Structure 1
Amino acid sequence: MDGHKIIKTLRHKDFIKVTHTGKCFEDGAAIYAKEIRENIFLLFIILKDIDIENIQALIAHFDCFSSIGLKEPEQIMFYLSIKDKNDLHYFEQYLKASHN
């Protein structure tokens, strides 16, 4: 599974692409967010590296949707980082499981 398939899957699951102008995330990162509870958001951050795609997933508390990408989260409750191409298989399985 590559970054394009992941982005397509996230869009299909009603994630919204967030433009970030703050210093919370690296420049060039593609950020997709979805509110899962009041002011609690599931974020997927896809960073482009020279050799691999680095995917990060987190559940975090922000004061509002518009503060994502501008401010640091008030609290991070879950964080997952995938840096190895072989680990994308497990990430793909997670996305399929969350669809059910």
Structure 2
Amino acid sequence: MKSNYMECQKIIRMLKHKEFIKVSHTGNCFEDGAAIYAKEIKENIFLLFVILKDIDIENIQALIAHFDCFGSIGLKEPEQIMFYLSIKDKNDLHYFEQYLKASVN
């Protein structure tokens, strides 16, 4: 059985391969130490994956959100959240992986 750490590393590799950009954050929207990966999917609409610092499977979040620009991610709250998924178990991780694959189509 794979460890949660290995699953998270697999997800990070997949995000980088799918041209997601790691975003640094200095605002209050995300927990300190969170790794944020973002990709614009439509004008000012972004698909974000937030991986919290303890790299535990229960601490991965996916969201589609509207920001006024790419530079706002990590600084300001999103103007609107259109989709949110919190990964809590292996079934959620499977759904997450399917959603990520579909997001490139």
Same fold, TM-score > 0.5, yes or no = yes
2:10 paired residue number: 5
Q: CA RMSD in A?
A: 2.0
SS in 1 for 2:59: strand
C-alpha contact (below 8 Å) 2:38/2:46 kept by paired residues: yes
1:54 paired residue number: 59
**Residue ranges of structure 1 left out of the alignment (5+ in a row):** none
Between the two proteins, what is the percent identity of the paired residues?
87
CA distance in 2, matches of 1:79, 1:39: 17
2:98 to 70, 80, 93: 93
1:72 paired residue number: 77
- Deviation of residue 51 (structure 1)? 5.8
Instruction: Within 5 Å, give how 1:25-44 maps onto structure 2.
Output: 25-44=30-49
Give the residue type in structure 1 aligned to 2:9. Answer: H
| Cα separation, partners in 2 of 1:42 and 1:99, compared to 1, 3 Å | closer
1:20 paired residue number: 25
Residues 71-80 or 52-61, more deviating: 52-61
SS in 2 for 1:48: coil
C-alpha contact (below 8 Å) 1:53/1:85 kept by paired residues: no
- Deviation of residue 69 (structure 1)? 0.1
- Deviation of residue 6 (structure 1)? 0.4
SS in 2 for 1:81: strand
